[in-house]
Structure 1
Amino acid sequence: MSRAPDQPIDPIRWCAALTLAFWALVLWNLAIPSGPYFDEIHYLPAARDLLDLSTFSNREHPLFGKEIIAVGMAIFGDNPWGWRFLPSAAGALALFAIMRTVWFGTLDRFATIAAGILVASGFHLFVHSRIAMLDIFMIAGLAVAAWQFAAAMREPETGRRRLIATGIALGLAMASKWNALVIAALPGLAFLVLRWFAGRRRLLLSRRGMPVPGITLAEASVWLGVLPLAVYAATFLPGYFYSINPMSEGIVAHHRLMLDLQTQVLQPHPYQSTWPEWVMNWRAIWYLYEPVDGAQRGVILIGNPLTMLLGLPALLWCMWQGIAARRPMHAAAALLYAVSLGFWMVAAKPVQFYYHYFLPSTVMLVGLALTLSDLREAGWRRVATGVLVASVLLFAYFYEVLAAESLARTNSFLTWAWLSGWV
């Protein structure tokens, strides 16, 4: 008799341990700075307005992220912990969901853990988990949606509840920031394309074939199309009850206003940048650099100098493997990066910033994890492990200006300003 193939062991405990370690580090000195910084000056007043339903402010963005910040303030108080605790939890959830996505997409233990290490030490997730901005809720929603969709394909016996969870997560991601819109359409399109190529004669009503046997295309369109839109719309309900500037003309008219506000021509900003600068990691944003809480402190948003560059050839490898070897997870990483970055190449938003690269860069780090796993399988174990170690070491080197730790001098930023665009 032939021997049964080895069954890989789910590294869920490692995923949980890495997530808890990351969250603990995020929570350390979370209340510093003790006052609002960077875009918190926009979102905290909007969250306060939500709590008392006074003035509908910050109308250019959807409501869900501000609703979650408001919930944190209602639970923990209008203080730094109230502002930032739930964003920190969203960051931890995003990290766990990313690792679970890679596991269900590959059944590869090394790639799963490597993805967690790379994303946790990639700077973007850590910085945005410690600030009350909207981006972290969008990333968490998309990560959970990817996890549940990959799990539905891997374990079709749980397909219905997984697809429902996918739809809810997609709706909440869109309701956090519009950046998620272009990605939110992909699960439904993927279901359509895969079912089409499965060759089912009754395309809408057949329950057989990829991607989730047992679920018809008609039913999937409800969970992946109608449900996200319904969840998205539901998050706007508080907008009807503001005492000043309510959504009295309805949600459609409000979205016209949102679009006008998003595409208005703004004054040039010293930290604005373009997508080629994001890709090459040339332009940083200092979210904070000033004396605060008894010391000189800074918070820089830039990508990990090693993995942001290694990720680019890794994506080319993923694209090649997706096409030539038909490896779906590799293809998904390359496609998601291209779509999420391509959105900003054509977006009618005249002033753009490096934090818009948060989503593409996270996908790129997943692609790098897949590539490192392939290198390891090809016998390059030391190289694969060395990249992970170097990523963590660089994170440790930059930690002081990722976590607003006290700095020795007013010009300490020069220690980390390796490029002129990082000043």
Structure 2
Amino acid sequence: MLSAPERSPDPLMPTLALVWLFLALALWQIQVPSIAYFDEVHYLPAARSMLEGGVWLNSEHPPLGKIILAIGIALFGDTPLGWRIFPALFSGLALFAFSRALWEASRSRFATLAYTWLLGTGFFLLVHARIAMLDGIMVGFFAVALWQCARAVRAPEEGRKRLIIAGLALGAAMATKWNAAPLAVVPGLTFFVVRLMAGRRRLLLSRRGGPVPGVSLLEAALWLGLLPLAVYAASFAPLLWASENPFGDRGLVAIQAMMLEMQQSVKEPHNYQSTWHQWLLNLRGIWYLYEEVDGAQRGVLLIGNPLTMLVGLAAVLWTGWAAVRHKRMDALAVYLLFILSLGFWIFAAKPIQFYYHYFLPSCFLLAALALALDELRDRGWPKVSYGVLVASAALFAFFFPILTAMRLKASGSFLTWAWIDGWR
């Protein structure tokens, strides 16, 4: 990033336009279905119980996401709008923040706008913007953390402020869902490695050198290490007002051990479970909804965009090559984030896994694709770059009815979109 040239003007306004378009689609008929569906049946009772100061439900997950769902219910009523408004807003925030992170890393206007387009039409973000699950909220917080870290490197004069915001966002992401935890250590670890490679005599206290000149390693440990942990710990404060505490008199550390045990205890096979091999090839989807509701047959299918999920794999390999061959730091960052976010699930001691665990890796895969399309465009292949963007939008439009629970013609309509057995 430090060596990336100033290549093009900031695409802030067109990025905002694309984000507002995405939010309009996410909020369109968000009250449909009017019933709780898929994992809403777990998270909504937990949010309601928090509002009532009652039993601490869904205790295998941290509390912040459910607190945010509860705030939505308090502000907009115990209705589908109240359930889903904050997942929609946080998903829009994720789209904006990821785009700004790539802009700070690459300084490429085309790559940034391509990424906004690809992420918005990549299926994952829209589906989770319209359901009261924790994933969209978690990804929103984590995207903000990456954006602020990238901005701290790009503009060291803002470094301290940006790292503080990043630390707050990292803590909030972990306090929403543990999926963010493996990547939450990456900013602090990166800071340490860069300073260590610089060979400073005063490793802990020196403020010279990258990644953020003016901030010592000791201070970075405060903002990127202790602050996220403090935010995470503070999220458990509602336990003080719960009428029944499922953790008993356990301390905070013991609570985490109990939560981990609960996460690993689900071993009964599930019809929708899948593996990371299937995620990579987009082979196993999840029907979040498929039933007659609100006077019509409706469905919500979670799969990745059939085009970009596959060509993005080649783009990920290219980012690894570009990082080594051309020392592209933006490509290196995207490549490592994809490998680390996917690698966690390869080795995680969670016996039953699902395609929605690929949410974060898919975001980095699409960032790799945006960088690769930018490279193709620069090398004289603009038709290929724009063709992928047009095809991504066309597939998004075709699948839109079963991404948003639109009215379908009949009970067998799902076959229109269920192209392979793993999507049925």
**Shorter chain as normaliser: what TM range?**
over 0.9
Residue type at the aligned position of 1:411:
G
Find the residue that maps to 2:214 and give its secondary structure.
Answer: coil
Q: Distance in 1 between matches of 2:187 and 2:133?
A: 26
What residue number does 2:169 align with?
A: 169
Task: Indicate whether 1:137 and 2:129 are aligned.
Answer: no
For 1:112 and 1:61, how far apart are their aligned partners in 2?
33
Deviation at residue 265 of structure 1 after TM alignment: 3.6
1:62 aligns with 2:62: yes
- Secondary structure at the aligned position of 2:176 is classed as coil
TM-score, structure 1 as length reference: 0.98
Deviation at 1:53, TM superposition (A): 1.4
Asked if 1:227 corresponds to 2:227, the answer is: yes
Q: CA deviation at 1:240?
A: 2.6
Count how many residue pairs are aligned between Structure 1 and Structure 2: 419
Measure, in 1, the Cα distance between the counterparts of 2:304 and 2:74: 33
Paired residue secondary structure (1:407): coil
CA deviations 1:369-410 (Å, max 9, x no partner) are: 000001011011110011001000000000000000000111
Structure 2 partner of 1:339: 340
**Residue matched to 1:42:** 42
Corresponding residue of 1:208: 208
Tell me the distance in 2 between the aligned counterparts of 1:245 and 1:68: 20
Correspondence for 2:17: 17
Counterpart CA distance in 1 for 2:189 and 2:153 is 14
Separation in 2 of the partners of 1:344 and 1:86? 27
User: Equivalents in 2 of 1:138, 1:326: separation in Å?
Assistant: 31
Structure 2 residue matching 1:175: 3-state secondary structure: helix
Residue aligning to 2:114: 114
TM-superposed CA distance for 1:10, in Å, is 0.6
Residue number in structure 2 paired with 1:261: 262
Cα offsets for 1:199-233 (capped at 9, x unmatched): 32211111111001110111000000000000010
CA contact (8 A) 1:240 1:246 kept: no
**Structure 1 residues 421, 148: closer, same or farther in 2, change over 3 A?**
same
Query: For 1:2-27, what per-residue CA distance to the aligned partner results, in whole angstroms no more than 9, with x for missing partners?
Result: xxx97621110011111111001100
Structure 1 residue 307, shift from structure 2 partner: 0.2
1:58 deviates by 0.5
Structure 2 residue 291 is matched with structure 1 residue 301: no
Cα distance in 1 for residues equivalent to 2:375 and 2:17: 24
Alpha-carbon deviation of 1:250? 2.0
Please name the residue that 1:379 is paired with.
380
The structure-2 alpha-carbon separation of the partners of 1:7 and 1:286, relative to structure 1 and needing over 3 Å to count, comes to closer
Structure 1 unaligned regions, length at least 5? none
- Match of 2:191? 191
Q: 1:246, CA displacement in angstroms?
A: 5.3
Aligned-partner Cα distance in 2 for 1:199–1:367: 31
Q: Does structure 1 conserve the Cα–Cα contact (< 8 Å) formed by 2:7 and 2:108?
A: no
Residue 285 in structure 1 maps to residue 279 in structure 2: no
CA contact (8 A) 2:86 2:137 kept: no
What SS does the corresponding residue of 1:286 show, helix, strand or coil? strand
Preserved contact between residue 43 and residue 66 of structure 1 (Cα < 8 Å): yes
Instruction: State the one-letter code of the partner of 1:421.
Output: G
* CA offset digits 1:170-194 (Å, max 9, x no partner): 0011111111111000000111111
Do 1:128 and 1:136's aligned partners in 2 also have CA atoms closer than 8 Å? yes
Do the aligned residues in 1 keep the contact of 2:59 with 2:246 (CA within 8 Å)? no
| 1:98–1:143 CA contact under 8 A, matched in 2 | yes
Is contact 1:239–1:246 with CA below 8 Å preserved after alignment?
no
Does the residue aligned with 1:145 lie in a helix, a strand or coil? helix
- Counterpart of 1:16, as a letter, is L
Q: Look up the equivalent residue of 1:298 and give its one-letter code.
A: G
Q: Hey, what does 1:415 align to over in structure 2?
A: 416
Distance 1:181 1:258 in 2: 14
Q: TM-score, normalised by structure 2?
A: 0.97
Task: State the distance in 1 between where 2:257 and 2:53 align.
Answer: 22
Secondary structure, aligned partner of 1:273: coil
CA distance in 1, matches of 2:103, 2:313: 22
Instruction: Show structure 2 runs of 5+ residues with no match.
Output: none
User: CA offsets per residue over residues 310-354 of structure 1, 9 Å max, x none?
Assistant: 000100000011112111110111111111111111111111111
Give the Cα–Cα distance (whole angstroms) in 2 for the partners of residues 313 and 116 of structure 1. 19
**Contact 1:30–1:130 (Cα < 8 Å) also in 2:** yes
- Residue 287 of structure 1 aligns to a residue whose secondary structure is strand
8 Å contact from structure 1 (residues 122, 391) kept in 2: yes
Q: Percent identity?
A: 56
Alpha-carbon RMSD across the aligned residues, in angstroms, is: 1.0
CA contact (8 A) 2:205 2:216 kept: yes
Partner residue, 1:181: 181
Alpha-carbon contact 1:375-1:381 (below 8 Å) kept? yes
* Off by >4 Å, runs of 4+ in structure 1: none
Greater CA drift, 303-312 or 253-262: 253-262
Tell me how far apart the structure 2 counterparts of residues 49 and 102 of structure 1 sit (CA, whole Å).
39
Contact kept, 8 Å, 2:298 with 2:408, in 1: the verdict is: yes
Contact 2:207–2:214, Cα closer than 8 Å, also in 1: yes
Deviates more, 1:256-265 or 1:365-374: 256-265
Deviation, structure 1 residue 267: 1.8
CA distance in 1, matches of 2:212, 2:184: 18
Kindly provide the amino acid, as one letter, of the partner of residue 417 in structure 1: A
| Contact 2:6 2:107 (C-alpha < 8 Å) held by counterparts | no
> 1:65, 1:176 within 8 Å by CA — same for their partners in 2?
yes
